[in-house]
Structure 1
Amino acid sequence: MPTSLELIIQSLPFLLTGVLQTLKVTLIAVAIGCILGLFGGMGRLSKNRFLRGLATCYVDFVRGTPLLVQLFIVYFGLPPVIQEFKIFLATSFALGPFTSTSHIPPFVAAVAACSINSGAYVSEIFRAGIQSIEKGQQEAALSLGMTPKQAMRHIILPQAFRRVIPPLGNEFIAMLKDTSLLICIGYAELTRQGQLIIGTTFRPFEIWFAVAFLYLIMTLSISRLVDYTEKRLDTNGNH
C-alpha cells in the first residue's frame, strides 16, 4: 500500500486534468458573464422601463436561485423542452418524426449555466462601478458636446473598469470554486476527478486534501494576479 505522499503524487496527473477542465469552464463562463454583465448593468441603469425591467428580472432570478438548480434546469430541464419543440416543428411543417432524444453535453450545460449565473453577479458589479463615477464627469462630457453614449464609452466606462477589477477577481474565484457543483452532471472537473480516484483507491482523506490544496493554489494565484493588476493600473493612472 502506497504512503499518503506517494498516493498523492500518483494521483496528480489525473487531478491536474481536472484542474485544466475547471479553469477552462471558469474562464469561458466568466468571459461570457462579463459580456452579459455589461449589458445587464447598463440595462439596470437604462431609462427605458422595458430594458430596466428585463435586466432586473434576470438579475433577481439568477441571484435568488442556487447555481445547482440552474444547472439542473439547463442539463435536465431543457432537453425535454427541445424535444417537444422538435416534435412541434415536425407536426406543423411535416418534417418527419424525430426519434432521437435531445441531449445537452455536460460541457455545454456547464458553460451555459455558469455563464448565466456569472452574468447576473457581474451585472451588479458593473452597475455599482458605473454609479461610483461622479455625475459631474458625465455632465462635463455633455457640456463639451459629447452625446450620452460617447460620454459613457469614453469617460465613464474606462474609469468604471478600473474600479470593478477587484470584485471581478472575487467573482472569478467564486465561480472557480462553484464549478465543483458540476460533479452532479458528471463533468470531469477537479472535484469529479478526485471522486473517481477515491472510488478506486478508497483513500478519501489524502485525495480530498490534495483536491483542496489544488483549489487553494488556484485561488491564491488568481488573488495575487488581481492585486498585481490593480496596483499596475493605479500606478499608470497616477502617471
Structure 2
Amino acid sequence: MGPERRGTGDFPWWLVAVSVLGILLFYRTLADALHAQILSTLLRGVQITLFVTLVAFALAAAVGLGVALMALSRSLVLRQVARFYTEVVRGVPMLVLLLYVAFVLAPGMVELRNWVLGLVGVDPIRTRDFSLLWRATIALTIGYSAFIGEVFRAGLLSVDPGQIEAANALGLSPWQRFRLVVFPQAIKTILPPLGNDFSAMIKDSSLVSVLGVLDVTQLGKVTAAGNFRYFETYNVVALIYLTMTITLSLVLRRLEAHLRRKP
C-alpha cells in the first residue's frame, strides 16, 4: 500500500501542468502574427545562448575538476590554493564577476599577451579585438568552476575508502584508480547537482546581455524597445528559457534513473 501511494505521489503532475501551459503558449505564439514575428527574431539569439552555456559549462567542469583534485591533494599548498580560489570566486556576485572579467581582466590579458608575444616580434592587438562573447564565456567559466569544483570534491569524497584500498591492493596507478574505480562511482553523486548547475548556467547566460551580446535576452530587450509590446516579447523570452531548462531537466532525470539501475 505504501509503495503504491508513493508511486501515485511521484507522478509528475508538475510536468503535466507545465506541458499544458507550454502548449497554450506555443499555440498562442504560432497563431498570433506578432508573437510569431517576435519568436522568429528571438530564435536568432538561441544559438548564442547555447554556445555560451555549452562552452562555458564544459570549461567550468574541466577547471572545477582540477580545483577539486587540488583540494583533495596531499600538498598543503595545492589545498590552500584551491580553497582560496573557491572562496574568492564564490564570494563575488556573477554580474560583478562578468563586468570585472570584461573590463578589467580582459584588458590585462591583452596587455600580457602583447608583452609576451612582442618579445618575439608578433604584432600587438587591441582590447576591442577581444570579443565580448568570449569575455562573457570566460566570466561564466570562472564563476561556475568554483561551484562545480565543490560538487566534484563532495562526490569524490563520497566514494567508499575501501574501494580505493582495494584498487591500491590490485596495483592500479593513481590515474587508473581515478578512471576505473573512483570516478564511475562518484558520478552517481555528482550528476544531480551538476545538472542543477547546468540549468542555472542556462539562466545566468542571460547576464551576458549587459555586455551587448546578442543572446535571447538582449534580442528581447531590443525587440521590446522597438515595438513597445513588452508583455508579448517577454512572454516569448520566458517561454524559450523555460523550454531549454525543462528539456534539460527531463534528460538529466532519465540519465540519473539509468545510472541508478546500473550495478
Please give the TM-score of this superposition, normalised by the length of structure 1: 0.88
Partner residue in 2 for 1:16:
43
SS in 2 for 1:164: helix
Deviations 1:61-105 (A, max 9, x none): 111101111111111113543465478679x9697996x742221
1:177 and 1:146 map into 2 onto residues whose CA distance is 42
Partner residue in 2 for 1:207:
233
**Alpha-carbon deviation of 1:58?**
1.2
Q: Which moved more, 1:25-34 or 1:156-165?
A: 156-165
Partner residue in 1 for 2:214:
188
User: Which of 103, 127, 136 is the matching residue for 1:76?
Assistant: 103
* Structure 2 residues not aligned, in runs of 5+: 1-27
What are the equivalent positions in structure 2 for 1:1-239 lying under 5 Å apart?
5-82=32-109, 85=112, 101-103=126-128, 104-235=130-261, 237-238=262-263
**Alpha-carbon deviation of 1:152?**
2.4
- Identity of matched residues, %: 36
SS in 1 for 2:127: coil
Partner residue in 1 for 2:24:
none
1:41 and 1:94 map into 2 onto residues whose CA distance is 36
1:211 and 1:232 map into 2 onto residues whose CA distance is 32
2:245 and 2:40 map into 1 onto residues whose CA distance is 20
Say if 1:89 and 1:95, in contact at 8 Å, map to a contact too: no
Q: 2:224 corresponds to which letter in structure 1?
A: I
1:94 and 1:24 map into 2 onto residues whose CA distance is 34
Say if 1:18 and 1:188, in contact at 8 Å, map to a contact too: yes
Say if 1:29 and 1:114, in contact at 8 Å, map to a contact too: yes
SS in 2 for 1:170: helix
SS in 2 for 1:218: helix
Root-mean-square deviation (CA), in Å?
2.4
Say if 1:6 and 1:234 are closer, same or farther in 2 by CA, change over 3 A. same
* Structure 1 residues not aligned, in runs of 5+: none
2:166 and 2:249 map into 1 onto residues whose CA distance is 36
Say if 1:167 and 1:143 are closer, same or farther in 2 by CA, change over 3 A. same
1:164 and 1:73 map into 2 onto residues whose CA distance is 30
Q: Which moved more, 1:204-213 or 1:158-167?
A: 158-167
